[in-house]
Structure 1
């Protein structure tokens, strides 16, 4: 998910998931066992050497406190109980934490509040589809673990005739603080510079609300991170379709405090360890997002 002049993500938290799930239930098309994420949780065996490298302040209670914005299915979103955070980001980081001998505890927060929370010490790590970019690297260390691009989506049949390369005059939904917001604002400026109507941009605090706005017809289209857009389309029971190609692919990263470079290095080693033991691939396949798999984790990659 790109965000904050970088990106992050898009869709389906409680509100949007509920809206789309209702339409699916009415048609009775899919059994729960066919849903992405169904089945037993993926686990990884602890690595005592890696666990020994975790800073004492973090491993003292055996828990790592995670800040996440649980409105971004299939990366991170609330389960049907309305409180448990699930998704491929969660499944994968649980395996990484297990490698380090830790248990991850998730707290949902607005996306743009998570990195400040990491910096202040409220969270020991941010796990929320953060695209790694130069701006974020000024304030936190980031460890790569996935790759995603931006994808447009619209109502099936594209009734508003949206062209991603010329969306002047259209109504477009994005989540607050995302790279997608930067993207659509730049596109709108090109429209007005050329004497064409601006793009009407609706910003939503939760990606689920942005998705629901497209389903309802309030907005003509939305931009989101590619796995999120694809998942929203899959879950929409034929109401949405992807539009155009995926572009500007970039890595997601786990975020830790800038002064915790040693811990970030251990995280990188733990990601590499779950890649090596197969739990990484298993977690991504479970959620149907293996297309974003990486082979090598990096600390603070610059390109």
Structure 2
């Protein structure tokens, strides 16, 4: 787990640059808690030769988003990392995680810098125009505030408030629309504070420079735990949608290999054990992985 030392070290959204220290596989202690799947030769045969030629899949990831992906003592870990490693074992390849700014990962996938992107990407129509996506979890957006909600923040009174979000996330579109609605109603706009790293979003709230933050529901829940309840959630998650593993389009059976591996892990119970390890709500678990599900 992420050490609960400095609030600056907490993260709750998708997008941070790094020095590469997050590249690698999950720590041995983390890996020990997850069963090792057996390679599926039929699924492995679906991975294009160009992808598996070096025995690994290079994964683009923003490692500032616990519990999904983050760096602990110099090693990348989290739900997406454990699930990604399990997918790799099913396909007979290793997963190499490269840290990047969230907003640039899909562009890097398109340019060939990455062979897969797994970083809590919400599946939506806009993203499906440029990449294929394999569903693996379902999450909504949550509103986080300081303990006790001193400013009485709700989703209905954000006009004129300082709200922190991470660049490139669906929460940016959400809060921008809400701000437009404010001005159309003759109210002050929301002061939308965008940050490249979710760690900065969390810090912005805990140091009282923002009055609220919006991020994916599992990430806000984790921030509550890691801050010792200095942060609290207001209301229920909304706009629930599936997370997707992103792949460059027109790669033949590659997306089928990834989808088949996810489904196999769901069916054999490995998926459920990974969710339990990271304390993710069973309400976000899926029973069927799909390629490009309707958004």
**TM over 0.5, shorter chain:** yes
- Work out which of the residue numbers 109, 114, 118 in structure 2 matches 1:127: 118
- SS across alignment from 2:158: coil
Kindly tell me the number of residue pairs found equivalent between the two proteins. Answer: 275
Q: Secondary structure at the match of 2:95?
A: strand
Partner of 1:76: 69
Match of 1:195? 186
Is 1:19 the counterpart of 2:6? The answer is yes
Given the two structures, how large is their TM-score scaled by the length of structure 1? Answer: 0.87
CA contact (8 A) 1:89 1:127 kept: yes
Distance 1:139 1:21, change over 3 A: closer
The whole-number CA distance in structure 1 between the counterparts of 2:214 and 2:110 is: 28
Q: SS in structure 1 opposite 2:238?
A: strand
- Taking a change above 3 Å as real, the CA distance of residues 111 and 240 of structure 1, as seen in their structure-2 partners, is same
1:206-244 C-alpha deviation (Å, 9 max, x unpaired) = 011001110110100000000001000111112110011
Q: Which residue of 2 aligns with 1:296?
A: 288
Deviation of residue 42 (structure 1)? 3.9
Q: Which residue, out of 36, 57, 63, partners 1:43? A: 36
CA distance in 1, matches of 2:2, 2:103: 16
3-state SS in 1 of match to 2:213:
strand
For the residues of structure 2 that align with 1:80 and 1:235, how far apart are their CA atoms? 16
- Alignment partners' CA distance in 1, 2:262 and 2:179: 39
- For residues 265-301 of structure 1, the C-alpha deviation after alignment (integer angstroms, 9 at most, x for no partner) is 1111111000111111111110011331100000011
**Hey, what does 1:105 align to over in structure 2?**
96
* C-alpha distance in structure 1 between counterparts of 2:131 and 2:211, whole Å: 36
User: Structure 1 unaligned runs (5+)?
Assistant: 1-11, 24-36
Shift of 1:19: 2.1
CA distance in 1, matches of 2:270, 2:208: 40
Residue from 252, 256, 269 that aligns with 1:278: 269
Deviation at 1:179, TM superposition (A): 0.9
C-alpha contact (below 8 Å) 1:130/1:253 kept by paired residues: yes
> Are the structure 2 counterparts of residues 244 and 129 from structure 1 closer, same or farther at C-alpha, using a change threshold of 3 Å?
same
- Provide the secondary structure at the position in 2 that maps to 1:244: strand
- Matched with 1:259 is 250
In the alignment, the residues of structure 2 paired with residue 103 and residue 18 of structure 1 have an alpha-carbon distance, to the nearest angstrom, of: 32
CA RMSD of aligned residues (A): 1.9
Runs of 5+ unmatched residues, structure 2: 11-29
* Residue in 2 that maps onto 1:170: 161
TM-score relative to the length of structure 2: 0.89
Aligned counterpart for 2:59 among listed residues 40, 56, 66: 66
Q: Which residue of 1 aligns with 2:217?
A: 226
**Counterpart contact for 1:131–1:251, Cα < 8 Å:** yes
1:66 is paired with a residue whose SS is: strand
Counterpart selection for 2:177 from 183, 186, 211: 186
Distance in 2 (alpha carbons) for counterparts of 1:38 and 1:49: 25
Match of 2:140? Answer: 149
Task: Provide the C-alpha distance between the structure 1 equivalents of 2:268 and 2:105, rounded to a whole number of angstroms.
Answer: 30
